[in-house]
Amino acid sequence: MPGLCRLLPLLAALCPPALSLRHGPSRIAVVGGGIGGSAAAYFLRQKFGHGVQLHVLEKAVVGGRLDTLDMEGSAYEAGGSVIHPLNLHMKHFVKELGLSVASPQGSLAGVYNGEEFVFEESSWSFINLLKLLWHYGLNPLRMSMWVEDILDKFMRIYRYQMHDYAFSSNERLLHALGGDDFARLLNQSIDEAMQKAGFSQKFINQVVCPAMRVNYGQGVAINGFVGAVSLAGAQSGLWSVKGGNKLVCSGLIYSSKAEVIPGTVVSIEPKTRSKRGGDPVKLYEVTYNTSSGLTGDTYDIVVIAAPLGRKMADITFRNFDPPIPEFRNPYHQTVTTLVHGRLNTSFFGYRDPQAFHFGAIFTTDNPKLFINSLGVVSPVGDTGTGGKLPLPSAVWKVFSNEELTKEQLGLLFSSYDSVKVKPWLAYPQYSTPEKLPPIVLHEQLYYLNGLERAASAMEMSAIAARNAALLAFHRWHGHSASVDQEDLHEKLKTEL
Ligand SMILES: Cc1cc2nc3c(=O)[nH]c(=O)nc-3n(C[C@H](O)[C@H](O)[C@H](O)COP(=O)(O)OP(=O)(O)OC[C@H]3O[C@@H](n4cnc5c(N)ncnc54)[C@H](O)[C@@H]3O)c2cc1C
Ligand SMILES: *[C@@H]1O[C@H](CO)[C@@H](O)[C@H](O)[C@H]1NC(C)=O
Ligand SMILES: *[C@@H]1O[C@H](CO)[C@@H](O)[C@H](O)[C@H]1NC(C)=O
Ligand SMILES: *[C@@H]1O[C@H](CO)[C@@H](O)[C@H](O)[C@H]1NC(C)=O
């Protein structure tokens, strides 16, 4: 077989171990057990095989920003909750792990501007169509085409990854998918991008802005790329994982046979160990804090799957030459509040509660408003019957930038029996031009969460995880031809 490989370079892919000059790594650390870290463990196992020891270092709980809150005996998604039907990695994980899908029940939506509802959905789709045309002309139809075009380009990532291609920077990854169009989206706000594309300001304020506020807690000043992702998140067919999205994380870690080490990583330092009779080996010393104090371990490869920054995964990079720069990485606070109670419909201008039929309330940008959105939610175990009208007393999920005061809760609800609160550093505080942090921090030290500055979503972390696993593999074995290829989506299409 080795001889054949030398003669026929085309067969090289079939016999990489014989061609590779290096043994596989013996130990890999993944910092963080959210969807990014657990997907990284899964893909690293897939690429490097069974010989490598995999550790997932987690300071809190596996799942990270995917977590549930309990209320009166049922669990509700408190962090990342909905998944797009074209999020292929998430779909694959659920299938591979034998989990099931839950579809959120539909409810009528309204857009509130702090004084009145500027748009009210009707239970008749034909009426809705007329309403949309009346209010916004062809803007809604043009928006679906605009988002579809961006989504089509974005979907090219799956073709690259299926064929094992990796990217060494987030800019290169996005450029290979959407060329200068994607770079331009990062350079301008969703407001500017849509104005330039000819959308009306009324439509942007009343439809686009509320979608940004519910998904990212921020208005239309966020970058155009995350804006487009957010609009895709308003499409139909959204789903979540029955039992809770975090089951994907524990499932992936279990299936990767990685060991979870409870501890907070505090520093990483490169080390060179001389080996008797061989070349010196380069390793990373990872120091972490556990319940029994500071301890550490060495690894050949380290993948950081948590947002870096002082208030985030506060990791010190010791003795790197050149030093690893600190990049600005502010995160936006979103507070999730679950309330079991009756909505005070007068607050929203409906004196008669019987006339109020909204199960989802979105908001426009108004400094007077202390909430970003609120909506009726079902427990994670529920498969949902669909189309059910909200009960007079239901569990509502409220998103706000600050924790709600007692007075504010008293305004929103005429009565309530339980309240659960979870504040998050939820996703980046977006601005323009958006600069994306590097993926490769050092020879074998990788960082996943830079891609979140383009757009934060479960699928984005999974894509970043697969890319990092492929990149680590190719760089370990010196396969430079599999890194940073452009225009392959056309070529690969015909190869399939
Ligand atoms: C309220 C809210 C709503 C959202 N809605 C959606 C949605 O509907 N759909 C969607 O796709 N996305 C949504 N998102 C975004 C989505 O949840 C995130 O993009 C995704 O979960 C990020 O996963 P991650 O693994 O990259 O990061 P995280 O989940 O943050 O994982 C990082 C992990 O690293 C650990 N860690 C941090 N520092 C250290 C350290 N020093 N040592 C060891 N461990 C450390 C943390 O404890 C954490 O478990 C939402 C997020 C929030 C907060
Ligand atoms: C985006 O802005 C950066 C500077 O922040 C610039 O270097 C780059 O060329 C711009 N890209 C596009 C496509 O406009
Ligand atoms: C380790 O954790 C303990 C207890 O939480 C804390 O007091 C200590 O300061 C931590 N050490 C470091 C180096 O972070
Ligand atoms: C409901 O909202 C109205 C209007 O904002 C407010 O005056 C009233 O105090 C709120 N609370 C209750 C319990 O009605």
Nearest residue CA, atom 12 of ligand 2? 184
For residue 433, the tally of other CB atoms under 10 A from its CB is 11
Amino acid letter at 386?
Answer: G
18 pLDDT tier (thresholds 50, 70, 90): very low
Tokens 């990373």 locate to: 284
Question: How far apart are the CA of 344 and the centre of ligand 4, in A?
Answer: 6
Residue range 326-337, pLDDT digits in tens: 989 999 999 999
Q: What's the angle, vertex CA 407, arms to CA 405 and CA 413, rounded to 5?
A: 100
Q: 224-232 vs 209-216: helix axis angle to the nearest 10?
A: 90
**For 10-17, which contacts have Cβ atoms below 8 Å and span 24 or more sequence positions?**
16/477
Q: State yes or no: pLDDT of 30 exceeds 90.
A: yes
DSSP at 365: S
Q: Give the DSSP per-residue string, 113-170.
A: -SSSEEEE--S-HHHHHHHHHHHHTTHHHHHHHHHHHHHHHHTHHHHHHHTT-B-SSH
- How would DSSP label each residue in 231-288? HHTTSS--BEETT-THHHHHHHHHHHTPEEEE-EEEEEEEEEE--TTS--EEEEEEEE
Sequence-ordered list of residues with C-beta below 8 angstroms from that of 319, at least 6 positions apart, any chain: 269, 270
- Residue 214's CB is within 10 A of a number of other CB atoms, namely 21
Radius of gyration from C-alpha coordinates of the chain: 24
Q: Which atom of ligand 2 is nearest to the CA of 181?
A: 13
- pTM for the whole structure: 0.94
C-alpha 456/C-alpha 458 separation (Å) is: 7
Of the two residues 6 and 328, the one the predictor is more confident about is: 328
Most ligand 3 atoms within 8 A of CB, residue of 57, 287, 289 to mutate: 289
Question: What is the number of the ligand closest to the CA of 436?
Answer: 2
227, HSE (Cβ side, Cα atoms, 13 Å): 30
pLDDT of residue 387: 42
CB 306 within 8 A of CB 37: yes
Amino acid identity of 487?
D
pLDDT score of 388 more than 70? no
Query: Cβ(266) to ligand 3 under 6 A?
Result: yes
Task: Report the residue among 187, 189, 435 best suited for mutation to probe ligand 2: largest number of ligand atoms under 8 A from its CB.
Answer: 187
DSSP output for 8-39? -GGGGGG-HHHH-SSPPPSEEEEE--SHHHHH
Task: Give the Å distance between the CA of 298 and the centre of ligand 3.
Answer: 20
For residues 15 and 283, the answer to whether their CB atoms sit within 8 Å is no
Ligand 1 contact, 33 CB (< 6 A): yes
User: 9 pLDDT exceeds 80?
Assistant: no
CA of 187 to the centre of ligand 2 (A): 6
What is the C-alpha separation between 365 and 69, in angstroms, rounded? 28
Residue 441 Cα, ligand 4 centroid: separation in angstroms? Answer: 54
**Rounded Cα gap, residues 217 and 194, in angstroms:** 19
Q: How confident is the model at residue 381 (pLDDT cuts 50, 70, 90)?
A: confident
Q: Which atom of ligand 2 is nearest to the CA of 187?
A: 1
Cα(26)–Cα(51) distance, integer angstroms? 7
pLDDT > 70 fraction of the chain, expressed in percent and rounded:
92
**CB atoms inside a 10 Å sphere around CB 222:** 28
pLDDT 10s digits, 166-193:
999 999 999 999 999 999 999 999 999 9
Residue nearest to atom 11 of ligand 4 (CA): 411
| CA nearest ligand 3 atom 1, residue | 289
Atom 11 (ligand 3): residue with closest C-alpha? 289
Query: Is residue 450 classed as helix, strand or coil in its secondary structure?
Result: helix
Residue 467 Cα to ligand 4 middle (Å): 51
Question: Which ligand 2 atom is nearest residue 180's CA?
Answer: 13
- pLDDT number for residue 466: 98
CA dihedral sign, ordered 166, 167, 168, 169? negative
Specify the pLDDT at position 2: 42
Residue 102 predicted with pLDDT over 70: yes
First-residue to last-residue Cα distance in the chain: 26
Q: What's the pLDDT band for 479 if we cut at 50, 70, 90?
A: very high
Cα gap 339→33, rounded to integer Å: 29
Task: Give the count of alpha carbons within 13 A of 137, CB side only.
Answer: 8
Q: Which pLDDT value is given to residue 106?
A: 79
Mean pLDDT confidence for 382-389: 49
